[in-house]
Amino acid sequence: MAKKQQQQHQVMQQVPSVGGIRSSFQTLVALLIAILVVATIYIRQSNEQLFQYWTTYDKTINGLSSSCNLFAGKWVFDNRSYPLYKEKECTFMSDQLACEKFGRKDLKYQFWRWQPHQCDLPRFNATALLEKLRNKRLVYVGDSLNRNQWVSMVCLVDSVISPTFKSMHNNGSINIFKAIEYNATIEFYWSPLLVESNSDDPISHRVPDRIVRVQAIEKHARHWTDADYLVFNTYLWWRRRQMKVLWGSFESPEDGVYKAVKLPRVYEMALQTWAQWLEVHVDRNKTQLFFMSMSPTHQKANKWGGIKGENCYSETEPVTEEGYAGDGASPRMMHVVDSVLGELKTRGLNVQMINITQLSDYRKDGHPSIYRKHWETITEEQLLNPKNYSDCIHWCLPGVPDVWNELLYACILEL
């Protein structure tokens, strides 16, 4: 009997009491809450740091007051003074960007004005810019987003030039708009990664296995060596985990050495080659240099409070939350640009950063989505699900890139 009671006592000791279970559960809940609070604080601080970075980088534009941060502000609906031109009246409008022409009915995206918090963005004056460009070359160098901005600039000046005094010439990778009366050109050069790559063909550049020659840039650079204003960008085509690098020649690829290099290191290698070329070849008394920060995409609607799985398709309003930071831009890669430009500055060469990232991140409504020319036949399956073929990368015109050019205009006129 005593032995049986002893065994029962041992079993009772092994079974946890209700109070013990409750205590353990409460401890676990408290721990989970603490982890959630810490994670929330971390995310909030990260977003605040990202917002501060996007809006304060190089905020002083030349002669403008240091208190005038053109990159921090809000979008204001203004259907009196915007748009700065009409889509159908731009002689050289691109069908990829002509959203109204291809069926977009909500046109509010054309009427938003960027309003900095502490000052006003100088209003674009096409004649004043053309006078500044008299006998000069303004060249945009980069990918299709830089071409988007180039088309915007051409449209911005197009209306003040008589049809007999303007021309457009395409020659391979370079497109040249000429204002004949001013002997001024506004050009775009296709070089999506700045350095040489197997995506350099301006028409046939979609390849499954992207390869770059991170130490080779002369093939491109010789076309814009003597430009008076150079506007660079490169980001979109680097959006992958790693890139195959070729040490050798595309003419004799079998003799080359290949290595996969991760991001952002390979991006840094390419920008260093670009920076070294500028340092050696640019005439510092003549050429002014600009770098456009990354243009964000809007592929995930849940990032701005929309439905998970949706994107920019059917969006008609900007994000109104100040400091909103989606995931369509990479702070790591922007810090690489920051570092490379900083090194150039210490060596006496100034490249003006034009920070379009935060202001563009608000504009989830500004993309073509399905309202553009399609180069491939749209399938029945795609027609049933429009978001699957929506372009949430480029921008409708008139629209967001016009503001990028207003910022560039402010820089050029202050030089």
Does residue 223 sit within a domain?
yes
Does residue 53 sit within a domain?
no
Please state the rounded mean pLDDT for residues 30-34: 60
Please state the rounded mean pLDDT for residues 51-75: 64
Q: What is the pTM of this model?
A: 0.86
As for how many domains the chain has, the answer is 1
Least confident stretch, 34-43, 136-145, 325-334: 34-43
CATH number, domain with residue 207: 3.40.50.1110
Give me the pLDDT at residue 36, please.
56
Does residue 389 sit within a domain?
yes
> Which domain range does residue 88 map to?
78-375+382-414
Give me the pLDDT at residue 23, please.
56
- If pLDDT is split at 50, 70 and 90, which confidence band does 64 have? low
Give me the pLDDT at residue 203, please.
87
DSSP 414: H
H/E run at residue 332: helix 331-346
Neighbours of 66 (CB within 10 A): 8
Does residue 274 sit within a domain?
yes
Does residue 69 sit within a domain?
no
Q: For residue 412, which of 155, 166, 138, 187 has the smallest C-alpha distance?
A: 138
Give me the pLDDT at residue 25, please.
55
For the annotated catalytic residues, the residue numbers are: 144, 391, 394
Q: Which residues of 343-378 are buried (b: 16+ CB within 10 A; e: fewer)?
A: ebeeeebebbbbbbbbbbbbbbbbbbbbbbeeeeee
Does residue 1 sit within a domain?
no
Does residue 16 sit within a domain?
no
- Judged against a pLDDT cut of 80, whether residue 130 lies above it is answered with yes
Per residue in 382-411, pLDDT tens? 888 999 999 999 999 999 999 999 999 999
- Judged against a pLDDT cut of 80, whether residue 123 lies above it is answered with yes
Q: Which residues contact 218 (CB under 8 A, 6 or more apart)?
A: 277
Tokens of 404: 């990028």
- Judged against a pLDDT cut of 80, whether residue 201 lies above it is answered with yes
